[in-house]
């Protein structure tokens, strides 16, 4: 596909999540890049379960949920009219509930699919119509985040180092694309992001595959790296950009923002503000199975009786956020109302 052809393997649509012949195939990011395998989902409930089990992460769940709606259309092919619509509405709720913190965004994804389905309820190829809608939404998202990346380029020096957190997926690919085009000498430092190691396995893989100088550090090396080597800026994507300027992102983002502030390093979040989320109080911070923090790659590292603790996300307050890089420009964290005025009414950018 034209919009993703020059991106790293795991950012290409068919390698994120893809519907075909009654199956949604999702790249298993729990084991990538050590092994390249796919989870094959035969029902939309299995897609929901794959989301809960972290088979795909970052922006991957949005594409998977949209493909899950295509699968629900296949499942309901024997139904007509209102009966089929009710089935799809129930599937939309199931898929949107995959992970609680991003439920608002996920609901916008599934509502977008429902809006398309309502015009084609009795079409035999509704599953393919919804698959194409999912691809169109993905292309729209990539185009939107491409604008974010172009705005981000205003922050980068001709030569410097950027520290990331977790896996920003689309912005990582689009930013790498823009940096290569510009010819700037920009290196990246990626904390590993325990316990699923998304920074080491995903961010570093994408950046390296796209030709950029990439270094992985463990999560407890952030202060030491900044103090001894320096960085130009710290950046992360966001699972939610709240309108009060707080950033909800992979747990650990807050502490890197604190360290960055101590060393006088700016922190810029990237993405599209959630105009219907006033603050993090409007969201439910997902608590993962504590056992996940006691192991890595299926190998447990503690004796029996040791307890784990694993909030999937934390909240970085606006006073630690230098700015938010959006599709409409760069805004101070405390001035996102200006973004809302420029954007006008509209859903999250994964929707139709």
Catalytic residues: 239
Find tokens 């509930």 and name the residue: 97
According to DSSP, the residues that pair with 324 across neighbouring strands are: 269, 331
Burial 203-238 (b: 16+ CB within 10 A, else e): bbbbbbbbebebebbebeebeebbeeeebbbbbbbb
- Pairing mode, if any, of strands 329-331 and 323-326? antiparallel
Where do runs of H (alpha helix) occur along 183-325? 198, 204-209, 222-229, 253-262
Measured CA to CA, the distance from residue 233 to residue 48 in angstroms comes to 36
φ and ψ at residue 46, rounded to 5 degrees = -65, -35
E strand or H helix at 60 = helix 60-75
Helix axes 60-75, 44-52, angle to 10 degrees: 160
């Amino acid at each position: 596909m034209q919009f993703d052809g020059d991106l790293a393997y795991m950012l290409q649509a068919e390698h994120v999540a893809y519907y075909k012949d009654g199956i949604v195939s999702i790249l298993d990011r729990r084991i990538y890049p050590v092994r390249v395998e796919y989870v094959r989902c035969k029902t939309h409930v299995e897609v929901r379960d794959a989301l809960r089990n972290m088979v795909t992460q970052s922006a991957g769940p949005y594409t998977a949920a949209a493909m899950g709606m295509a699968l629900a259309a296949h499942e309901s092919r024997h139904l007509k009219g209102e009966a089929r619509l009710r089935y799809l509405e129930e599937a939309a709720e199931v898929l949107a509930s995959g992970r609680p913190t991003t439920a608002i965004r996920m609901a916008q994804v599934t509502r977008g699919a429902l809006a398309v389905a309502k015009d084609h309820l009795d079409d035999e190829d509704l599953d393919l119509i919804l698959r194409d809608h999912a691809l169109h939404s993905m292309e729209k998202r990539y185009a939107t985040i491409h604008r974010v990346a172009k705005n981000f380029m205003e922050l980068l020096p001709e030569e410097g180092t950027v520290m990331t957190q977790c896996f920003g997926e689309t912005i990582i690919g689009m930013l790498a694309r823009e940096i290569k085009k510009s010819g700037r000498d920009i290196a990246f430092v990626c904390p590993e992001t325990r316990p699923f190691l998304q920074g080491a396995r995903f961010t570093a893989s994408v950046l390296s595959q796209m030709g950029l100088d990439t270094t992985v550090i463990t999560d407890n090396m952030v202060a030491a790296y900044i103090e001894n080597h320096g960085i130009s800026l710290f950046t992360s994507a966001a699972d939610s950009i709240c309108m009060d300027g707080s950033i909800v992102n992979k747990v650990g983002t807050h502490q890197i923002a604190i360290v960055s502030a101590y060393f006088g390093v700016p922190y810029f979040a990237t993405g599209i503000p959630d105009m219907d989320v006033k603050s993090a109080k409007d969201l439910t911070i997902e608590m993962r199975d504590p056992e996940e923090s006691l192991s890595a790659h299926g190998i447990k590292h503690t004796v029996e009786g040791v307890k784990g603790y694993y909030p999937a996300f934390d909240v970085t307050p606006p006073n630690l956020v230098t700015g938010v890089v959006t599709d409409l420009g760069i805004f101070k964290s405390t001035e996102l109302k200006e973004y809302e005025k420029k954007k006008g009414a509209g859903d999250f950018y994964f929707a139709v």
